[in-house]
A and B are shown apart, each in its own frame.
Chain A
Amino acid sequence: MDAIYKLIQHYAPKIPDLLALALAVLLPIAIVMGVFLTVFALLTWVERKALGRIQNRRGPNRVGPVGLFQPVADGLKLLTKEDIVPAAADKVVHFLAPVLTVVPAFMVLAVVPVAKGFVPVDLNIGVLFALAVSTGSVLALFMAGWASRNKFSLLGAMRSVAQVVSYEVPMVMAAVVILMAAGTLSSVGIVEAQRGLAGWFVFKPWGLVAFVIFQLCAMAEVARTPFDLPEAESEIVAGYHTEYSGFKFALFQMGEYVAAITMGGITVTMFLGGYLGPGSDLPKIGWLVSAGWFFAKLGIIVVINIWARGTWPRVRVDQLLGFAWKLLLPLALVNIVAMAIWHFASNKLVGWGASAVVLAVAIVALVKINTGQTFEKRSYRFIS
């Protein structure tokens, strides 16, 4: 932001100060929104195509070359659809919910460093801000489910609240390790801390564990398969957005996808070295190369997401919550200890070995504890 302001002042000194300031504020927003909305549109196409191929189908291939304009057609269709609000619905809340779903998703984008020297707002608490804001979507989902006055919607909303609140905890705990390693909360600072050969945090034992935990939690947070219980079609129709149609529905989809992308962006920033990569420091074209690196890494995360979605079935509610509280959370706590060992180890090799051993023991133990339990036959209190 400041850099743009300076650039404007440098190249066009005649522009009035206020206008320059406004430009400096609006330009990054426009760029980020434009780029990520395009990525969102493309992602819907890529996802449908990839899921199709995974299931030996062709995927969309009618609109435009290889179906590339399918998102446009979808958007137009959803725009022209009738907007139905249930008669018993809470009109105001019903209207606000889809809007509030999109807002946090885009707010997180503010702190994602997309390229070298390009981050809309370099907050010194960047990662914390991202984690905090992304929790805001819970309320939007709950509002949607509650305002619809529909049992399926309410069930979906309750599921999503329980899920997001549960996965928030191991997610933050996994992020803590990265903050400890980088010594800063700033997203740019975290990226810069991963410089050097194999400097990415994912290449360290604690980093790998934290990456897996964080990635799983991110998938749960944005309710993607295998954690898509809030909108499980086979169980509760479409969950919280059962009663939404037309563009409000599109907003929910958009919020979900943009949240998935931004979560991927945060993951890339924290574990995969963000925009860093060979050539990202070159003068003149460094920003372009670094942006390429960022989006390439984001692509990897997206592929993992789609692959998982195309492969794994949905988990049960008890499995979902048990997984978060009984496996991920203890593991994340042990991971912090491992990080501490690494930090205080006399040399790197000892740190590597010690933290790896601690984590391996913890994983084996936790898996042992968590498996092999059998459930009694369920008895229902109110049904004889």
Chain B
Amino acid sequence: MTIVFLTLSAITVLGALLAVTLRNLVHCLLALVLFFMGIAGHFFLLKADFLGAVQILIYIGAVAVLILFAIMLTRNISGTEGGRGSLGGAWWLGVGIATTLAGAMCVFVRRSDLVSKLPYGATEEGVVKEIGKLLVTDWVVPLEIMAVLLTAALIGAVVIALEEEKKR
């Protein structure tokens, strides 16, 4: 199990590092996908099959493709224009922010009672069911807020697209 964990972690870290260091944007994206895969693997390793599958479905199936579309709309995909290295001059700032964020998250996750509330230790069959139940009982307000937010974003996108249509 440790071997699998170490391999997965190595892949994940490698993917993350490549994603920020490679010059070619599409290569960066593929490295990012590798990173997502690594995370999904971790979920599977932790017996959180549902989260693993969702990770693949959403992050690789949707987020990566979204980024892909964004990249296709940019210039300088190959990273050959402009003299600046891929790691900017303020790289230490980024590292600092990332470390602080990660540390803060670690601290808060440890302190919160979220862990104890999760259906941890439930039977394999039960995980999905438990998540579903929690989502529509205890966490129904956040869920609905999220749904409203997404709907608003969707309508916003439609409105923007319609205006484009009118201008023509």
A: which residues have CB within 8 A of B? 90, 93, 123-125, 128-129, 131-133, 135-136, 138-139, 142-143, 146, 158, 161, 165, 168, 172, 184-186, 379, 381
Contact = CB atoms under 8 A, between A and B. Distances in A.
Interface stretch (B58-66, B109-117, B133-141): B58-66
Interface stretch (B6-14, B46-54, B86-94, B144-152): B46-54
B61 A184 contact: no
A381 B168 contact: yes
A185 to B, nearest CB: 6
Given A135-B60, A136-B60, A185-B128, A128 B33 contact: no
24 contacts: A93-B26, A124-B49, A124-B125, A124-B127, A128-B54, A128-B57, A129-B53, A131-B57, A132-B57, A132-B60, A133-B56, A135-B60, A136-B60, A138-B61, A139-B30, A139-B33, A143-B30, A146-B26, A161-B65, A161-B68, A165-B61, A165-B62, A186-B125, A381-B168
B120 interface: no
Contact of B57 (A93, A135, A185, A381): A135
Contact of B61 (A135, A146, A381): A135
A168 B64 CA distance: 14
B65 A125 contact: no
Contact of B53 (A132, A165, A184): A132
A142 B53 contact: no
A90 B60 CA distance: 21
A132 B54 contact: yes
Contacts of A138: 61, 65
Contact of B30 (A93, A129, A381): A93
A186 B72 CA distance: 37
Q: How many B residues are at the interface, by size bracket?
A: 20 to 34
B43 to A, nearest CB: 11
Tell me whether chain A's interface is mostly helix, strand or loop, or mixed: helix
Contacts of B56: 132-133, 135-136
A136 B26 contact: no
Contacts of A132: 53-54, 56-57, 60-61
Contacts of A131: 57
Contacts of A186: 125
A139 B57 contact: no
A139 B50 contact: no
